Structure 1
Amino acid sequence: MTSKKHTPSLKKDMVAYSEPYFAYQPSPFYNQSHFEFRDKVRNFIDKELIPHVDKWDESETFPVSLHQKALRFVFYENGVYCPQFETKYGGQRPPKWDYFHFLIFHDELARTACGGLVASLFLALQIGASPLMMFGSEYLKDKIGRDILSGKKLIALAVSEPSGGSDVSRIKTTAVVDPSDPDYFIVNGEKYFITNGMRADYFTTAVRTGSTKKQEKESSGALQQELSMLLIPKAVEGVFCQQLKTQGWWCSSTAHVVLRNVRVHKKFLIGELNKGWEYIMKNFNHERFAMSVESNRYARVCLEESIKYAKERHTFGKPLINHQVIRHKLSEMIRVIESTHALLEQIAYLSNQQPGVVDEKHLAGLVALGKVQSTKTMEFCAREAAQIFGGRGFMRTGRAGKVERIYREVRVNAIGGGSEEILLNLAANQAKF
């Protein structure tokens, strides 16, 4: 179905290329349900988030009550995550839902130009709750899942460690059966770069439940078969959290989590023993695609802010935007943003297909390439925007505030969810060349 050319949220005087082309041009991918959903999300973000972003980021926190408000909107009112989760634990399944709704959701979130807020409010839920709600027992989903999905309790994914994050198969955190009580695991280890870690009530934790000897000499395949996932309550004895000082994502409550002889009942095992690798990998595509869409919108925000400023600023007797070098910078930004968005739409289209129609390994490789393309686009546009703003681009406040914040958040997007280098290698392996 061909999309309508205009939606209520668009203005005739919109800045060129400040919105994806489907917002003002025909597209085969979008229908009225997409536009209606986009308007709902945009209205929520414009009202509840954007007016407060600068204050929250500078103070490195935001009201805890915002979690419940955000989840009520996305889960109970619009069913954003319901296609993944059973609705009997809360929320409603939208009558029309596909990956283009998912794309629109994360594209709109990134209009805040505040990745820490987006990650803490939404991405942490998506990646932290997904293993629990997709593979957890009925006991866990009913007892804990309900509170997570309503925002009464918060969750975080705990996979990365001080020794690394990309080589998941070699994590060192262990969960061994308590010799004095076989119904419990004893967990020891550390987790690092844990988004929402300071706020979380539960950690969806990757642990080693197989052999802990000779890890460096064993193959990755063998090590993958020794991983499990445990849901660890923060309140139990032996869990210690320390907030990390980060370059960007200031209000993301990123933490270093230490686990010292933590006793966890076996009923908190997510899914089957030694199936953790499978659960982690199934989570990655959603995380990477979400980060890809957000990164490209951050690039688009840089473009929009640059165009507006270049029209206002005068140098050498004429508007900055009339200088050829600036016009070329803007055109290059448009080129990479629009080509990246086209790739993301292709990924969304393939993700919409029925199981078996699209090769999953090929799709995983394409998602990996999409994230690399998006974060490189974000980095390029953040740099060019900062150059256009000149000295103002170095200031945290004022006219270039969004650009400066996005510039600081380039690295976490380029590394989080799989670094560019790891993802390029993954894509090559999936292509089998």
Structure 2
Amino acid sequence: MTKLRLAIVGAGPAGIYAADILTKTEKHFDVSIDLFEQLPAPYGLVRYGVAPDHPRIKGIITALRDVLDSGHIRLFGNVDFGRDITLADLKKHYNAVIFSTGAIRDAPLMIPGIDLEGSYGAADFVSWYDGHPDVARTWPLDAAEVGVLGNGNVALDVARILAKHAEDLLPTEIPDNVFEGLKHSPVTDVHVFGRRGPAQVKFSPLELRELGELRDVDMVLYDEDFDYDEASKAAVASNKQVFVIDKVLNQWRARETGTASRRLHFHFFANPVELVGTDAVEAIRYERTVPDGEGGVVGTGEIREIPIQAFYRAVGYFGSPLDGIPFDEKRGVIPNREGQVLSDSGEQVHGVYATGWIKRGPVGLIGHTKSDAMETIKHVINDEASWWSPAEPDEAAIVALLESRGIEFTTLDGWHKLDEHELALGAAAERTRIKVVPRDDMVEISNA
């Protein structure tokens, strides 16, 4: 019987779901799957992109763990594609490869002053507070007034972590260095800016409700933002999610404010035009916008300014190019047709596939990731005639290759050791988990 030796690069939800779907799909050949991950631990953005105080979302890890523990997949962590292994290596040992490397960079924001000290990408901040091993252990938290641009869930996460009192994060898996940094933050005011109105935000109702439960934090909204046009009224009346969001925001408007030590401000219809400052961020200038009647906005010419000493842009994630793989620099994705990777001339690159955010861009939830994987796997199966013909398909060959290059890779058994170690650290401190942050420590514990 034919055997498919498949490499998957990226052990986040997209890669793990692709592996799971392939093992469960009806086919006329056997399957052997190796999952390569640049980090020593699996789960991608579920581990390093979800705020530590969102345990319900992190429950996705339970489903991913079940897939990894099914016995059908090998995990090779701490292996960097393009450095430790190459496309030529994969062609030598596999019939095909799926790239599921996600999108971890911040999308750019082209306004004057964006490069001032104190201006940050939200993705970098998220990586810091989630204990990503490849970012600095410290973060500059010396601003009393902070601006956050974005009306999606990442902006909510950033604003919440900045405004929340550090001790209220202790029951979570927040890393110790992050707790120490946040504990000494002098923040008093966090301003969230969005170009459009309350009826057009991309917040999830659940996350928005949770935001309103912060201890000792006033929610500050402005009546001028709630003079809805007909399109916004129609959205509230016809869309359940928009209805709930509108209800939550209006409940906050009715609250009394002025007693909390911290404030979280929402500025809708605010299009940032400039960060003001000589060497560092001192203020944000934005143009007041109004609805255009079709769900969008137009500028009014009215410029406002609010003092801030730090600014975070949460305007989306962006993919990174991979060595030897076609890449769309404008969209930050691997060009593809339903997961089949395409060359610069639009021809299919046989044996190479994509799934997840590196395939479609950083939009959608876990459900989209599963349907993405199904679409890609369908083509992997149907393209059998154009699979690579590996010279050394034996499963032991890739292990020998990594060992010969001195790569300290981690395995699924190693992840179990690290997982148990982190849980034990947390239990000793009466916390959910305490993440091990340094990469070398993660590898050492995994390979003990």
**TM-score exceeds 0.5:** no
Higher strand share: 2
The higher-RCO structure (CA 8 Å, 6+ apart) is 2
Higher helix share: 1
Q: Report the TM-score when normalising by structure 1.
A: 0.25
Choose 1 or 2 for highest CA Rg. Answer: 2
